[in-house]
Amino acid sequence: MALSSRAHAFSVEALVGRSAKRKVPDGPDEEPGAGCRQSRRAPDAEKRPKAAAESREAGVQVELQGSELWRRFHEIGTEMIITKAGRRMFPSVRVKVKGLEPLKQYYIAIDVVPVDSKRYRYVYHSSQWMVAGNTDHSCITPRLYIHPDSPCSGETWMRQIISFDRVKLTNNEMDDKGHIILQSMHKYKPRVHVIAQDSRFDLAQIQSLPAEGVQTFSFQETEFTTVTAYQNQQITKLKIDRNPFAKGFRDPGRNR
């Protein structure tokens, strides 16, 4: 028996037909191809923090160790104390190097350079650093600290974590102990240098970077402001909590 037009609209065939038509445009979302899945993951990949600096031309990579701790300090505003006698950094710069030629000899070095030409002051009511004026860094030449294990083969360097925990920061412009000379209330960043050995020079005695054979790496999270006493109480607390050499400050019995 033939169905009326209204009855046909509610027939099984009509309902199935509508369902099929609705599913057609939704199909790609339910079963995306490989290209669709990759494009969706790409934004997440871009958000991942990078803890490695890389020299594209030679394939050498330098990865910052303890980057998570550095980031915690960086989020607050890292401060490093400098003294006349020299003070060690915490966190210290520790890196892992990849991509060196195994049999080639290298020096690994570090220096600390200004981030900008500004002088800063800490504003307590807003708990932040503010620009206090301009400054001139030309009177202080950045000192180069050669890692004491230098020179070593690329194979040896790549097997170990390279630590600069012996580096000391000072505000004594007349320092003769090899400490890195900085000015208080300024922003700086450490730089790690991979220097290929050159028979023409005794790199262990150089005071500045050679003109060639150098690859330089830096990390934004290691930037810091120099102080003679900590300004931010959050920095003080984090230093005491995480610095293994600050055990005496954490021991209430000893403090009493």
Biggest distance spanned by C-alpha atoms of the chain: 109
Residue type, position 201, single letter: F
Which residue's structure tokens are 């199935």? 16
pTM of the model: 0.74
pLDDT at 216 over 90: yes
Is 49 inside a domain boundary? no
247 pLDDT band, cuts 50/70/90, is: low
At residue 244, what is the residue type?
P
Q: What is the mean pLDDT of the chain?
A: 80
Residue 70 lies inside a defined structural domain of this protein:
yes
For range 32-58, the mean pLDDT = 41
- Residue closest to 233 by CA, chosen among 113, 114, 76: 76
Name the residue range of residue 112's domain. Answer: 61-240
Q: Please state whether the peptide bond connecting residue 28 to the residue before it is cis, i.e. omega within 30 degrees of 0.
A: no
Spatial contact of 109 and 173, defined as CB atoms under 8 Å apart: no
Q: Are 226 and 168 in contact (CB under 8 A)?
A: no
Measured between alpha carbons, how far is 115 from 76 in angstroms, rounded to an integer? 17
Among 72, 90, 73, smallest CA distance to 81 is for 90
Model confidence band, residue 203 (pLDDT cutoffs 50, 70, 90): confident
CA distances, 101 to each of 154, 193, 197, 211 (Å):
5, 15, 12, 20
Q: Nearest CA to 183 among 123, 143, 122, 226? A: 226
The pLDDT tens digits of the residues spanning 100-158 come to: 999 999 999 999 999 999 999 999 988 899 999 998 877 788 899 999 999 999 999 99
Q: Quick check: is 113 in a domain?
A: yes
Residue 107 forms part of a structural domain? yes
Between 31-40, 90-99, 186-195, the lowest mean confidence (pLDDT) is in 31-40
Residue 246's pLDDT band, with cuts at 50, 70 and 90, is low
The pLDDT value given to residue 184: 96
Tell me, what's the pLDDT at 42?
37
Of all residues in the chain, the percent with pLDDT exceeding 70 is 73
Q: What is the pLDDT of residue 206?
A: 77
Distance of CA 212 to the CA centre of its chain: 25
The answer to whether 105 and 150 are in contact (CB under 8 A) is no
Structure tokens at 81: 């104390």
Is 51 inside a domain boundary?
A: no
Q: Residue 62 burial by CB count (10 A; 0-12/13-18/19+): exposed, middle or buried?
A: buried
Q: Please give the tally of structural domains in the chain.
A: 1
pLDDT value at position 51? 55
- Residue 56 in domain: no
Rounded Cα distance between 7 and 241, Å, is 77
- Tell how strand 118-123 and strand 87-88 pair up: unpaired
CATH number at residue 214: 2.60.40.820
3-state DSSP percent of the chain in helix, strand and coil, to 5: 30, 30, 40
224 part of a folded domain: yes
* DSSP secondary structure letters along 86-121: -EE-SSPPEEEEES--TTSEEEEEEEEEESSSEEEE
Does 34 fall in a domain?
no
